[in-house]
């Protein structure tokens, strides 16, 4: 039996897979609020106590860097260590990998129904594939073609310096520089970043904040879903929220294009994370692709790169499972 997990700052998905049924089909699965638990060990114990499984191996995709078998969650105060997890959970082998690494393990095996295409492009066989995933934070990764198969590569590019591309974004950067010691792309292009864009537009007088929206935001622990919901609403739409999401889409498009250039993603660019599938109507507009391709002399090359939104919400969990099965086969 293999225990796989998608460990995020907001929620953790766990599932058990059997070698017979494979990595695509879990035989037990559950979702937990990450912040409600003091550690991954405590969360896993609760999950396993609900089932009568003897787990031999574990593979966890983690929303943060993994170095020498140790990891921290960027947006959660957990420390994880493979050796300690093996000992505490009595599991034969435990592997930690970055969550974008986990997603990357599953991307080459996605089916057409798992994807929503923003730009058809002309994919190059064996070309590098880029992945950018705005969720609670902003993850980035890529795949390179080696020895007749794709190999996942790690990155923490979401924490690179935010680079404005227009006057509004320049003023947004100035606004955030007065409030944060470092303004990364994650500060503006993630679930944590959306409220920062909203605050700037509100404080700069871009539009008036309606009283009903102010009341909802003041009462919310997480303001991002409210901002997105209001931007998508046909009844209670807010000009501030629409502008926030439009700005977010432009920044996401520009950074997706940056990543595509840096790794030369001729095999395509894939948008993961929880936010893109929720805002398809905004991504389908001209704003995203214009920002993605607006790269001067290399604009034409970017127009040839396919761009897809990953619709499968379990992509990171399934990727962690595939990684786990690969490890079991190679053991």
Note the pLDDT tens digit of each residue in 166-222: 999 999 999 999 999 999 999 999 999 999 999 999 999 999 999 999 999 999 989
227 C-beta neighbours (distance < 10 Å), count: 26
State how beta strands 57-62 and 2-7 pair: parallel
Note the pLDDT tens digit of each residue in 48-102: 999 888 899 999 999 888 999 999 876 788 999 999 999 999 999 999 999 999 9
Note the pLDDT tens digit of each residue in 224-262: 999 999 999 988 889 999 999 999 999 999 999 999 999
Residue 28: pLDDT band (50, 70, 90) is very high
* Domains identified in the chain and CATH numbers: 2-104+314-330 (3.30.420.40), 113-311 (3.40.367.20)
pLDDT number for residue 237: 87
Q: If we measure between CA atoms, which residue out of 5, 4, 15 comes closest to residue 73?
A: 5
Can you give 55-113 as a three-state secondary structure string? CCEEEEEECCCEECCEEEECCEEEEEEHHHHHHHHCCCEEEEEEHHHHHHHHHHHCCHH
Assess contact for 61 and 314: CB atoms under 8 A. no
pTM, two decimal places: 0.92
Assess contact for 138 and 132: CB atoms under 8 A. yes
């Amino acid at each position: 039996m293999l225990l796989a997990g998608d460990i995020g700052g907001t929620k953790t998905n766990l599932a058990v897979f059997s070698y017979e049924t494979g990595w695509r089909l879990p035989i037990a699965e559950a979702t937990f609020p990450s912040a409600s638990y003091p550690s991954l060990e405590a969360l896993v114990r609760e999950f396993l106590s609900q089932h009568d499984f003897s787990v031999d191996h574990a593979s966890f995709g983690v929303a943060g860097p993994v170095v020498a078998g140790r990891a921290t969650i960027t947006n959660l105060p957990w420390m994880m260590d493979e050796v300690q997890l093996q000992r505490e959970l009595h599991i034969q082998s435990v592997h930690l990998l970055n969550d974008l690494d986990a997603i990357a393990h599953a991307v080459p095996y996605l089916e057409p129904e798992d994807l929503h295409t923003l730009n058809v492009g002309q994919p190059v066989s064996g070309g590098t594939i880029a992945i950018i995933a705005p969720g609670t934070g902003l993850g980035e990764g890529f795949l390179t073609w080696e020895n007749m198969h794709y190999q996942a590569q790690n990155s923490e590019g979401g924490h690179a310096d935010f680079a404005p591309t227009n006057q509004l974004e320049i003023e947004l950067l100035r606004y955030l520089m007065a409030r944060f010691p470092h303004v990364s792309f994650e500060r503006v292009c993630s679930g944590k970043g959306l409220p920062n864009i909203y605050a700037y537009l509100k404080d700069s007088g871009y539009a008036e904040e309606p009283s009903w929206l102010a009341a909802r935001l003041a009462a919310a622990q997480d303001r991002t879903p409210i901002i997105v919901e209001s931007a998508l609403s046909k009844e209670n739409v807010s000009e501030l929220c629409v502008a926030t999401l439009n700005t977010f889409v432009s920044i996401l498009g520009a950074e997706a294009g940056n990543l595509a250039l840096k790794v030369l993603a001729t095999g395509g660019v894939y948008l993961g994370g929880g936010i893109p599938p929720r805002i398809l109507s905004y991504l389908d507009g001209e704003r995203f692709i214009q920002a993605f391709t607006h790269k001067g002399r290399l604009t034409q090359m970017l127009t040839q790169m396919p761009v897809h939104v990953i619709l499968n919400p379990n992509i990171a969990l399934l990727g962690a499972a595939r990684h786990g099965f690969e490890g079991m086969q190679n053991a």
